Amino acid sequence: MNTSVVNAQNTQQKLPAAGTAAIVGKVDGIAIEAKVASPSEEITPLQIVCVFEYTEGDVFNSPSALPPAVNGMIHVDNQLKGLITTLRKSGKFEGHALETILIYPPKGSISAQRLLIIGLGDKTKFTPDIMISVGKTGMREALRLGVTSYAHASDLKDGGLDSPTQLIIGNVLKGAFEAYQTELYLKNKHLTSFKPLTKLTLLAGPAFYTASKSAMAETITTLNK
């Protein structure tokens, strides 16, 4: 959603404050939480963020990206003293589709104990279906790392893509629980082991919180059938 639309929404309705959160439901015993928070501020064992392949100024200067005050990727990058921009601009992390890199943030930077960045590929070739695979990748990495909860921020609008919020949220959850159910299948056959996951938090900006909650509720109902 572009800046003018976000500003229009801000003037037409009172948006939820930072920290607003709700457990929308459960799937496989895992609580699914919607929360208004920047990924730089969320206190969690593992924070997942997503980036497209780098183009100059794509987060900071693109007119289609969310403004700095509500752009979670800018917040994370600033708290890490420009590390994400450095990695992307130098080609050390290119952001190819489903490419991952794990960072242990220094104390005093972002609030998460670990930061997993997942690549989204070329923004001009994006389709919502990739978010199913992103959801799978995030879940599998969370289980591999042994965390019992994690937070996910898709960051599509931060990167300048006017994405369909509800479809993206639904696809992330669908992918995450397809992966989780596969891991449960393997665990039941004594072919893997992992700590039980207790909570998955999906972060949203204030203007997108209501739509995100609605999509989560609908997807949870579908997954529990």
The 3 state secondary structure assigned to 151-214 is EECCCCCCCCCCCCHHHHHHHHHHHHHHHHHHHHHHHHCCCCCCCCCCEEEEEECHHHHHHHHH
pLDDT for the residue numbered 61? 85
pLDDT for the residue numbered 9? 44
pLDDT for the residue numbered 62? 85
The H or E element that residue 23 is part of is strand 21-27
Neighbour count for residue 217 (Cβ, 10 Å): 15
**21-27 sheet: strands from edge to edge:** 21-27, 30-36, 199-204, 149-152, 47-51, 115-119, 100-103
User: Which pair of tokens denotes residue 113?
Assistant: 């104990």
CA angle 212, 216, 220 (to 5 degrees): 175
User: Which pair of tokens denotes residue 88?
Assistant: 């992307």
Contact 163, 68 (CB under 8 A): no
Which residues have C-beta within 8 Å of that of residue 92, sequence separation ≥ 6? 86
User: Which among 149, 150, 117, 122 is positioned nearest to 50, based on CA atoms?
Assistant: 117
Burial (Cβ within 10 Å: 0-12, 13-18, ≥19) of residue 52: buried
* Cα separations in angstroms, 1 against 100, 158, 160: 26, 9, 8
Which domains, and CATH codes, for the chain?
A: 3-223 (3.40.220.10)
The letter for the amino acid at 189 is K
pLDDT in tens, 209-219: 999 999 999 99
pTM > 0.95: yes or no: no
pLDDT for the residue numbered 12? 52
Q: Which residue ranges in the chain fall short of pLDDT 70?
A: 1-12
> What is the Cα 109 distance to its own chain's centre?
18
* Cα separations in angstroms, 151 against 2, 35, 185, 195, 225: 24, 9, 24, 16, 24
Alpha carbon distance 4, 150 (integer Å) = 32
